[in-house]
Structure 1
């Protein structure tokens, strides 16, 4: 039995995230650890999700290879609530050839049918679906969707799949529409899964996103929504109304920026990062200005930091908005870029350079 609170879905809605019990958290990883060496070698080379030695970056780079080879149209089929609609009978039939011990099969079947506790604690039976978030769920989902991989390979398609997110590369709009129609029939008739037709499309690769990236003129780029969300989070961490110390603020910024760049840093497009760095430094100056509060304190800090005395007094006594004062001559001469770098915030652009040119990157504080 597990509990399934709603969780944000990649498509923008909400899904059910399965939270296993303490005992399940011990047993399910043990089952997955024993079965992975047996089942994983049978999976397709184009399957990258939740597999040892594979990552989302591998899937994106594989798509890039196909695009450079001339497959410039994408068939983007959206599986509607894939985890929640997996047929238990079909899944167990696909597990049986890999598992000789019937006790293990019965145990997996019991997990699938164990039921879930709703928000009121009542147990609801489960006749279909795999708990999303369980330790065993990624392996079971890959087993179920391996039929899709094998079918695409049998037809000679170029594709990449990461869990329930997959993309097929073709050379024309017309062939893409044929592939989408036939794959939709296969998914609904053979695997009993639903395809969200409203969100599925055939379009040039540059107009499609896959795992937060798109391919434009053969180059990997983060999608605009991904970058907007990054900027939104940075804005939240540098909100002057957030009543925390600057050290705590810088710690949150560092962790989030490093985490974002560890994933999105494979993007070969960095033009917005220079402007983003300038915008971020201005917001940090604004936070310092709010923290200093008093006119005398502001003037004293600016003078000690090297700002001209006259400009420091003019700026320190000004009643203009924080955002405006964060870009004056005195605040920039006092709180220089180097001073801010020593205090804590990292340069997003330097993090990107460290990913692509590690030998040329300057050391960045941890």
Structure 2
């Protein structure tokens, strides 16, 4: 189990974001290990009601949640309330070494996103997992065919549908990742190291194969 606190003194700071809230608010983050979403929703329903009664604003998805507070003192009090309920009422063990307090300027992660100041981006670990999936199916001994493009598109579509949100700032990252994918495909086409073959398979040809672009998901109207 992991519990962490994220908070900021700049309560009325303009232009800041916190998962749908437009003010910089301190937050509590909790992560239970290996809890199926349905079971987590049932188990943590009592915590939801407790936080409501305390007048605390929070966002929870299954076993991952943040609690937003006005200042450090309220954040520390919220952490005490959460720990007491989880350990005392629900008999769940918390992990003291994973409990910390951090400001928005220090950054924190939630639901696959990295929050840092006014920026909300795809988490580094999430990007690494995405690239690992692409690398696995684009080794140079594989064939560049319609079946492969379809598999790549499935990965691209799933990632873009989650991370190409109105509040995120992934456009530049997605554009660079698109280039990286195209380099992988050029390597496959010519069975050579990617550093010298980037221009031998033109972008128009790749587009004609039906290859999806992460960046283009930002261009589609809502």
Same topology, TM > 0.5: yes
Distance in 1 of aligned mates of 2:102 and 2:93: 21
Flag as ranges the 4+ runs of structure 1 deviating above 4 A.
none
Distance in 1 of aligned mates of 2:60 and 2:104: 15
Distance in 2 of aligned mates of 1:276 and 1:144: 39
Q: 2:24 aligns with which of 40, 63, 70?
A: 70
Q: 1:322 aligns with which of 180, 190, 193?
A: 193
* Structure whose alpha-carbon radius of gyration is higher: 1
Distance in 2 of aligned mates of 1:341 and 1:214: 31
Could you report, residue by residue, the CA deviation over 1:170-197 in whole angstroms, capped at 9, with x for unpaired residues?
Answer: 2333432232123201211112122222
Q: 2:131 aligns with which of 231, 251, 254?
A: 231
CA RMSD of aligned residues (A): 2.5
Contact 1:74 1:169 in 2 (8 A): yes
Structure 2: stretches of 5+ with no match in the other structure:
3-16
| TM-score, length of structure 2 as denominator length | 0.80
Could you report, residue by residue, the CA deviation over 1:141-166 in whole angstroms, capped at 9, with x for unpaired residues?
Answer: 42331110111011111111111111
Contact 1:74 1:205 in 2 (8 A): no
Q: 2:182 aligns with which of 263, 281, 305?
A: 281
C-alpha deviation, 1:219, in angstroms: 4.7
- 1:150-229, aligned counterparts within 5 Å? 150-205=49-104, 207-229=107-129
Structure in which a larger fraction of residues adopt helix: 1
C-alpha deviation, 1:352, in angstroms: 2.8
Q: Secondary structure at the match of 1:221?
A: strand
| TM-score, length of structure 1 as denominator length | 0.51
Distance 1:257 1:65, change over 3 A: closer
Contact 2:108 2:116 in 1 (8 A): no
Contact 1:78 1:197 in 2 (8 A): no
Residue in structure 1 matched with residue 12 of structure 2 by the alignment: none
Q: 1:259 aligns with which of 158, 183, 190?
A: 158
Distance in 2 of aligned mates of 1:165 and 1:244: 40
Distance in 2 of aligned mates of 1:269 and 1:248: 28
Distance in 2 of aligned mates of 1:149 and 1:202: 21
Distance in 2 of aligned mates of 1:255 and 1:232: 14
Contact 2:113 2:121 in 1 (8 A): yes
Contact 1:158 1:168 in 2 (8 A): yes
Contact 2:56 2:68 in 1 (8 A): yes
- 1:330-349, aligned counterparts within 5 Å? 331=200, 335-349=201-215
Contact 1:250 1:344 in 2 (8 A): yes
Distance 1:196 1:78, change over 3 A: farther
